[in-house]
Structure 1
Amino acid sequence: MENLYFNEIVEAVNGQMLCTGKNVKVKGVSIDSRTIQNGDIFFALKGERVDGHHYVVPAMKAGAVGAVVSHLGKTDLGHEHFPVIRVKDTVTALGDLARYYRQKLTTKIIGITGSNGKTTTKEMTYHLLSQFGSVARSQKSFNNFIGVPVSIFEIENRHQYGVLEMGTNAPGEIRRLSEIGSPDIAAILNVSQTHLEGLGSTEGVAAAKGEILENLRKEGVFVYNVDNLWCVKIADGFKGKKIGFGFGPHAHIRCTTTKKEDEGYRLGINGCLEIYLPVPGYHNISNCLASFAICHALGHNIYQRREMFASFKLPQMRIEHQRIGNITFINDAYNANPESVRAALAYLYEMDTKGRKVFICGDMLELGSDAVQL
């Protein structure tokens, strides 16, 4: 993280100083007292099982130079010069500081959302952009009010690009995340029947995903899936610069040929580039095209490199193979919704095997009243 000073943090989070101290330099942000580094500021977050306010003293002893809290209660810091900032809500304050910090960065920020494929596309985009410059990205599937700010604090001005994943299960969440991240490139991969319990309908899902455009930077670019009708509707209402990807004739980055080869696919892009995508699952072709479109939106010539995906591997629990005896287990259990289950079934169907195929499916959560029907 680029250095911040305590006084500017107080202002950024609209906080109140409880314990005064010097205007110390802050070198990092931590939400876990066990991982504190010297010079970090500790945000005491209250979760369902653990309240970070109980760990302010351990954070201080571990090297934190200050803390952000919503209350201290009877906590005795034993150190009158340890600066503490009180705010109404520490999660909100974490986002406010990340938003302030992002505005200080010269890094180009890419925000990726969609009902499916966010983490895989984020990793593909990171893989591609790393061949053009220095890149930071969200770890794992850090895509919420805590994960996005934490990811932003990992970005420094030495990074040319920062790739962020943005998720939602309620209206307004992506609006807030995009406000924090202020993306230069906003990508919507797809819209399908996910999180209906919180978003109400597929139309509600589309509206929630479209919130990412509300905080797209002035000269920013919208990257969208031309094969998804909801994405096309969002694009039709967007007046800025946009780049489409997919199989359809209106795509700027278009897959023109596909050939199954080993565990991956040989792809033709725009009729003039042939690449090998070394990952299984036909649905991952769309994720690949999205990452190409993002690179194109950033001004990179994707046609000069034919082996850009040669060393790419899927994230954990995404069509992850494990061989035990004569049985091949395929772990695709990170998350599930109707569309992702269809993709998993399609992959199982296309597998060439002499033995039986068995599909084990658990619950698909957050589908609301449509759960049984779906």
Structure 2
Amino acid sequence: MEKLTFEEIVKAVDGKIIINNNFHKYNYVSTDTRKICENSIFIALKGENFNGNNYIADASKKGSNLCIVDEINFKNEELQDYTSVILVENTRKALLDLAEYYRNKLNLKVIGITGSTGKTSTKDLTAAALGSKFKVFKTKGNFNNEIGLPLMIFELDNSYDVAVLEMGMSDFGEIHRLAKTARPDIAIITNVGISHIENLKTRENILKAKMEITDFFTEESILIINNENDLLATIEEKDYKLIKTGVENQLDYKAENIELGESYVKFSLENDNKEEKFKIDVPGKHNVLNALLAIAAGRVLDIEYDELKEGIKNLNVTSMRLDIVRANNYTIIDDCYNASPDSMKAALEVMNTLKGNRKIAVLGTMRELGDESHKAHKEIGEYAAKMGVDKLIAVGDYNSSYKEGFNNDENFKMFSSNTEAIKYLEELIKDEDIILIKASRSMKFEEIVKKLKLSN
């Protein structure tokens, strides 16, 4: 990270100096004492089951030069002589405030990405596309919330040209706070589905929450949207530039001649009466839409089409997201990271393109859908039947909804646990079968994937 002075930090977090030991070298910011290293800043967060303020002595012993706290739960003699302490009103706010201050010291472009689904795939594609010309940083794993995003910002320095930052949310105000911290120059919204509708009640409210990513836009800022989404298509240009991508109607970037392969997608788009052809080494029509968003961001940053194609060749995708694995004599589609109606349909569409024996879908609960839960699970059961699924195996809270939608009792099984499902699958699977495994992260479906990879 770039240099921050003690005085800058005190001002940024609006803190009160409790101890100043005049040793102010900082290379790292941590909220976890298990990851503290020498010359780090420790910010003591509180949650339902933990209180970082209780671990200041431990943080000091492990090398923290500065601890930012909102409770004094230590004795001065417990600290090393190199550790200073700043008291703030709220350490979660301090984390965001310090990251905002630090981001403003950096001379780079920030691309913020949000959406109900597709954030991570679009992040990976955007980082790859831009990587042909720029040094690009991208959000690691799922560090996309009010704790993760600031930690990603602290990993930046002025050697980077562009930061591609993922922004997640579950309620109003969260994207606003993330946008205040990250100050995106370019924002991308992938789609608006029904993820988190339990909190936000309507898709229109979800759109409003996603649009908070533009709250700190200036006239130079740019919003890039997937115009195939019905609600995003209603957005009109305001006091910033709007770029629309998709496959229908007149758009700024429109994919044509789409070809969906087992492990790739191909498409073309028109550029000054010249056809630009793209091949992306990930399956699914949804990745055509994600790639268009990445290409639009690259063009905004003046990257030529040939450079974008070269960058995309180096695509490095995040694990557990539509990862197609050949295990033993069958194929596993590992998509265990998250689940929503849109991403479920996308995964089923990908399975439909694969050639094999039987198509077996192992689907779990989609969380945070509130009153829409029964209807959403039933619709995915219907879609599974439409996509030619031979066997549907449901695990979780809405098994009966899947069963109602699939409407084929003979080829439907339901289980209450992963262990039961694994036992059944081990007896069921034959050579050349294709098995899709997908659910919300809390279902821990990676247990099923791991077991099937080891099975003979």
Q: How big is the shift at 1:73?
A: 2.1
Which residue in 2 is equivalent to 1:221? 222
Structure 2 distance, partners of 1:265, 1:100, is 41
Contact 2:261 2:283 in 1 (8 A): no
1:19 is matched by which residue type in structure 2?
I
Contact 2:64 2:83 in 1 (8 A): no
TM alignment of 1:132-143, pairs within 5 A: 132-143=133-144
Which residue in 2 is equivalent to 1:37? 37
Which residue in 1 is equivalent to 2:317? 314
Deviations 1:99-157 (A, max 9, x none): 11111111111100011111111111111111111111211121100111001111111
Contact 1:279 1:313 in 2 (8 A): no
Contact 2:258 2:265 in 1 (8 A): yes
Residue 98 of structure 1 pairs with residue 99 of structure 2: yes
User: What TM-score comes out, normalization by structure 1 length?
Assistant: 0.94
SS at structure 2 position matched to 1:360: strand
Q: How big is the shift at 1:55?
A: 2.3
1:258 is matched by which residue type in structure 2?
I
Deviations 1:44-98 (A, max 9, x none): 1123433222322222122211100111224453446631111121111000000
Which residue in 2 is equivalent to 1:57? 57
Structure 2 distance, partners of 1:112, 1:44, is 28
> 1:308/1:249 Cα in 2 relative to 1: closer, same or farther (>3 Å)?
farther
Which residue in 2 is equivalent to 1:341? 344
Flag structure 1 segments of 5+ consecutive residues without an equivalent. none
Identity score, percent? 35
Q: How big is the shift at 1:206?
A: 0.4
SS at structure 1 position matched to 2:364: coil
Structure 2 distance, partners of 1:334, 1:318, is 6
Structure 2 distance, partners of 1:262, 1:343, is 13
Which residue in 1 is equivalent to 2:366? 364
Q: How big is the shift at 1:237?
A: 5.2
| Count of aligned positions | 372
SS at structure 2 position matched to 1:272: strand
SS at structure 1 position matched to 2:64: coil
SS at structure 2 position matched to 1:284: helix
> 1:313/1:304 Cα in 2 relative to 1: closer, same or farther (>3 Å)?
closer
Between 107-116 and 41-50, report the one with greater CA deviation: 41-50
Flag structure 2 segments of 5+ consecutive residues without an equivalent. 377-456
Contact 1:6 1:26 in 2 (8 A): no
Structure 2 distance, partners of 1:165, 1:305, is 20
SS at structure 2 position matched to 1:293: helix
Between 6-15 and 26-35, report the one with greater CA deviation: 26-35
Structure 1 distance, partners of 2:169, 2:155, is 22
Structure 2 distance, partners of 1:80, 1:363, is 51
Contact 1:255 1:268 in 2 (8 A): yes
TM alignment of 1:170-249, pairs within 5 A: 170-234=171-235, 236=236, 238-249=238-249
2:182 is matched by which residue type in structure 1?
G
Structure 2 distance, partners of 1:118, 1:334, is 12
Between 82-91 and 106-115, report the one with greater CA deviation: 82-91
Q: How big is the shift at 1:249?
A: 3.1
Structure 1 distance, partners of 2:218, 2:123, is 20
Contact 2:193 2:203 in 1 (8 A): yes
Structure 2 distance, partners of 1:213, 1:305, is 26
> 1:78/1:243 Cα in 2 relative to 1: closer, same or farther (>3 Å)?
closer
Structure 1 distance, partners of 2:307, 2:144, is 32
Structure 2 distance, partners of 1:80, 1:279, is 53
Which residue in 2 is equivalent to 1:291? 294
2:315 is matched by which residue type in structure 1?
F
Which residue in 1 is equivalent to 2:167? 166
Contact 1:112 1:122 in 2 (8 A): yes
> 1:44/1:305 Cα in 2 relative to 1: closer, same or farther (>3 Å)?
closer
2:359 is matched by which residue type in structure 1?
K
Which residue in 2 is equivalent to 1:127? 128
TM alignment of 1:244-259, pairs within 5 A: 244-259=244-259
SS at structure 2 position matched to 1:4: coil
Residue 326 of structure 2: which of 311, 323, 327 is its match?
323
Which residue in 2 is equivalent to 1:278? 281
Larger radius of gyration, structure 1 or 2?
Answer: 2
User: What TM-score comes out, normalization by structure 2 length?
Assistant: 0.78
SS at structure 2 position matched to 1:331: strand
Greater helix fraction, Structure 1 or Structure 2: 2
Structure 1 distance, partners of 2:311, 2:171, is 36
